[in-house]
Amino acid sequence: MPKAPQQHRISVRRTARFWTLEPTEAPRGTLYVLHGYGQLAGYFIRKFQSAADAGWRVIAPEGGHRFYLSGTAGRVGASWMTKEDRTVDIADYVAFLDDVAAQSRGNEADGPRVLLGFSQGVATAMRWLALGAQGVGSWDGIIAHSGVLPPDLPHAGALLTDAPPLYLIAGKEDPYIDVLESGFVTSEQEWQRLGGPNDSIQRLVFNGGHVIHPEMVLTALHSVDNALGFT
């Protein structure tokens, strides 16, 4: 009888990339931004020029799975993972994000540290928040933009007891959100299940679709500043 194929894994060295956008005025904080499915960090980071103009240093890591968006040529996008071998990919990108943060820490602006995820990047951000070496308490704000918190974080312990405020941003015309209210509730319930503080959640809604909304992002950043006593 033929033998079944056996899977094997090895660790390899590879080159990953991230982008930065320096503030155009006196630095006031650092904003990490994690892109959505099919985006590239070099283009995604441009959507945060208004944050840089307000004094934030923006850091945009890029997912390690690059692919053609249509067919076998043309525009390229990236993603953080797929359903195939997902637990290994999650561990790999958490380690990658830890390395980016460790390398960038000396160049971070003094002031608040905020983590933003957009679309697929919301799940990536939450997994990094809960599982990464940075520690939940190293962040001053979390922005979940146009995405839902993942339901697969470990149940053991209260992972997010020391979590900073959570800002949920979504567009009224987002085609990926069937019912805006239920999307918010799902994220809030997951946040609370993991021990996140109930009184630190803020919803921000805008007229628009599945896109970054710079004004809502600035509103969340200003709220983080205010909570920490910055003006």
Is 200 strand, coil or helix?
Answer: helix
Please state which of the ranges 17-26, 106-115, 117-126 shows the lowest mean pLDDT.
106-115
Q: What is the pLDDT of residue 138?
A: 92
226 pLDDT more than 90:
no
Q: What is the pTM of this model?
A: 0.95
57 pLDDT more than 90:
yes
Measured CA to CA in angstroms, residue 55 lies from 42, 89, 99, 138 at distances of: 19, 33, 24, 20
Please state which of the ranges 46-60, 74-88, 176-190 shows the lowest mean pLDDT.
176-190
Q: Both tokens of residue 114?
A: 């905020």
Looking at residues 115-129, what average pLDDT do you find? 96
Looking at residues 108-132, what average pLDDT do you find? 93
Query: What is the pLDDT confidence band of residue 199, given thresholds at 50, 70 and 90?
Result: confident
CB 212 within 8 A of CB 145: yes
Q: Which residues of 87-103 are buried (b: 16+ CB within 10 A; e: fewer)?
A: eebbebbbebbeebbee
User: Among residues 101, 87, 106, 118, which one has the least CA distance to residue 214?
Assistant: 118
What are the chain's domains? 18-227 (3.40.50.1820)
Q: What is the pLDDT of residue 156?
A: 54
Looking at residues 167-175, what average pLDDT do you find? 95
Looking at residues 172-178, what average pLDDT do you find? 90
Give the Cα separation of 195 and 37 in Å (integer). Answer: 28
Phi then psi dihedrals of residue 115, to 5 deg: -115, 125
Give percent of the chain with pLDDT exceeding 70. Answer: 98
In the chain, which residue ranges form alpha helices assigned H by DSSP? Answer: 41-44, 49-53, 86-104, 120-131, 180-193, 214-227
The neighbouring-strand residues paired with 118 are: 145
Give percent of the chain with pLDDT exceeding 90. Answer: 73
Q: What is the pLDDT of residue 18?
A: 97
